Amino acid sequence: MSSKSRKKVLLMGKSGSGKTSMRAIIFKSQLAADTRRLGATIDVESSQIKFLGGLRLDLWDCGGQESFMDSHLTAQSSTVFRAVHSLIYIFDAESTELLTSDTVYFLKCLRALQDQNPTSAAPSPAPSSSSPAGASAGAADEGGPTVFVLLHKMDLVPVDAQQGKLAEFEAEVTRKARESGYKGALKFYGTSIWNETLYKAWSIVISHLMPSLSSLRAHLNSFLVLSSASEIVLFERTTFLVISSVTNDKDAPDAEWDERRFERISTMVKAFKLGCSCVFHLAIAAVSTETGLLTRSPAMLFTSSFAGSKIRSPFSSLAITTPRYTAVL
Ligand code: GTP
């Protein structure tokens, strides 16, 4: 596999900021409520995730407890920070040390990133915050790693104070980063596992990693013309993150179009798939422990088969028969 299609992404931030929760929701389809049961990450947990077009994401979830952070910044610095495509740094919006010790750790990470990837001294083109489609693929390869800064747990900040808090945080952290000598781009987002802001930010991160985004967009444009659709959105199959989208100029979004429509679709479909998989497991239990005949509503069988790859994977040739319906999963 070429290095262009393998991307190393670091997930860093202090303990309890929410790194593993994000990873579990986006890549393991866990429910937000279930993240309360997650334990602290020991050292580094790396996972390989395959994406559309043969892209492989090496995601390193770096434990945020002080002893681990210190070790990542000293003894393990070259292992952790070398050959990084993107750093996603998570700040806990509720932390009382947000602009003090939390920022100090962040600046140390920037320094290590710069030391281990000398090109990160040069400003790298930042992806557009307004649309994943605006992300510039492969930018990190030319201009050094891209740094995404997430001010997380924004649900704990009063709604009318969120924008101001993010703007103030962005200005302050950017100023400190510049003062410390970091010249690369920093991209800020406010996120929460309890709403679609998580999908918005991660869609931008993922589309930024895609090596063939421009050719994908060209295909989407052709499909848009052929289908006479108003808009086409491409979602990644497993995570349901938005990879790219194209809109017919004649139907350009106006005030009536929900700005967050893509992230809302991601959140809803993910929740729907999760709901379906629960129903499916109940169905399997009924088949194996009772008569072998399953009497459930057609709606349940429909939703079971609609849930797709997650459900089909372990039982690809299973047929469930009811007196009136047969569903092959
Ligand atoms: P380490 O593994 O020690 O580095 O911590 P971590 O950064 O991986 O934190 P983790 O994901 O384990 O989350 C800690 C707690 O924060 C959990 O109880 C989560 O449910 C909670 N949490 C995560 N994201 C959010 C969020 O957006 N809002 C709120 N209110 N809580 C969150």
Backbone angles phi, psi at 92, to 5 degrees: -85, 115
Q: Which residues line ligand 1 (CB under 6 A)?
A: 13, 15-21, 35-36, 38, 40-41, 63-65, 152-153, 155-156, 192-194
| Listed residue (4, 2, 183) closest to 85, CA to CA | 4
When pLDDT is averaged across residues 85-92 and rounded to a whole number, the result is 95
Q: Which residue has the higher pLDDT, 104 or 271?
A: 104
* Six-digit token string for 249: 């100029």
264-299 burial, b for 16+ CB within 10 Å, e for fewer? Answer: ebbbeebeebeebbebbeebbebeeeeeeebebeee
Q: Which residue has the higher pLDDT, 310 or 103?
A: 103
* Six-digit token string for 291: 């008569």
Strand (E) or helix (H) holding 309: helix 309-312
Closest ligand 1 atom number to CA of residue 33: 20
Which residue has the least CA distance to atom 17 on ligand 1?
Answer: 36
What CA–CA distance (Å, rounded) separates 316 from 242? 27
* Six-digit token string for 159: 């709604």
Residue 20 CA to ligand 1 center (angstroms) comes to 7
Residue 243 CA to ligand 1 center (angstroms) comes to 26
Is the pLDDT at 303 greater than 90, yes or no?
no
| Listed residue (186, 198, 187) closest to 154, CA to CA | 198
Residue 155 CA to ligand 1 center (angstroms) comes to 12
Kindly report the number of other CB atoms within 10 A of residue 5's CB atom: 17
Q: What is this model's ipTM? A: 0.97
Residue 225 CA to ligand 1 center (angstroms) comes to 44
Of 78-82, 266-270, 273-277, least confident by mean pLDDT is 273-277
Is the pLDDT at 134 greater than 60, yes or no?
no
Residue 36 CA to ligand 1 center (angstroms) comes to 7
Beta strands 146-152 and 186-190, pairing class:
parallel
Closest ligand 1 atom number to CA of residue 39: 12
Which residue has the least CA distance to atom 22 on ligand 1?
Answer: 18
Report percent pLDDT > 70 for the chain. 72
**33-53 confidence digits (pLDDT tens):** 888 888 889 999 999 988 766
In a 3-state reduction of DSSP, which class is residue 301?
Answer: helix
* Six-digit token string for 76: 């393990």
When pLDDT is averaged across residues 300-324 and rounded to a whole number, the result is 35
pLDDT confidence of residue 231? 81
**Contacts made by residues 228-231, CB under 8 angstroms, sequence distance 24+:** none
Which residue has the least CA distance to atom 16 on ligand 1?
Answer: 18
Q: 């932390």: which residue's tokens?
A: 95
Amino acid in position 325: Y
Kindly report the number of other CB atoms within 10 A of residue 71's CB atom: 17
Closest ligand 1 atom number to CA of residue 21: 11
Report percent pLDDT > 90 for the chain. 38
Residue 107 CA to ligand 1 center (angstroms) comes to 21
Residue 28 CA to ligand 1 center (angstroms) comes to 15
Of 163-167, 198-202, 289-293, least confident by mean pLDDT is 289-293
pLDDT confidence of residue 34? 86
Is the pLDDT at 195 greater than 50, yes or no?
yes
pLDDT confidence of residue 236? 81
Closest ligand 1 atom number to CA of residue 90: 7
Which residue has the least CA distance to atom 15 on ligand 1?
Answer: 16
In SS3 terms, 66-92 reads as HHHHHHHHCCCHHHHHCCCCEEEEEEE
13-40 burial, b for 16+ CB within 10 Å, e for fewer? Answer: bbebbbbbbbbbbbbebbebeebeeeee
Of 160-164, 175-179, 216-220, least confident by mean pLDDT is 216-220
Which residue has the least CA distance to atom 21 on ligand 1?
Answer: 18
Which residue has the least CA distance to atom 26 on ligand 1?
Answer: 153
Report the DSSP beta bridge partners of residue 147: 87, 186
Amino acid in position 287: V
**10-24 confidence digits (pLDDT tens):** 999 999 999 999 999
Packed helices 159-179 and 101-116: angle between N→C axes, nearest 10 degrees:
50
- Cβ proximity of 22 and 193 under 8 Å: yes
pTM (predicted TM-score): 0.76
Is the pLDDT at 219 greater than 90, yes or no?
no
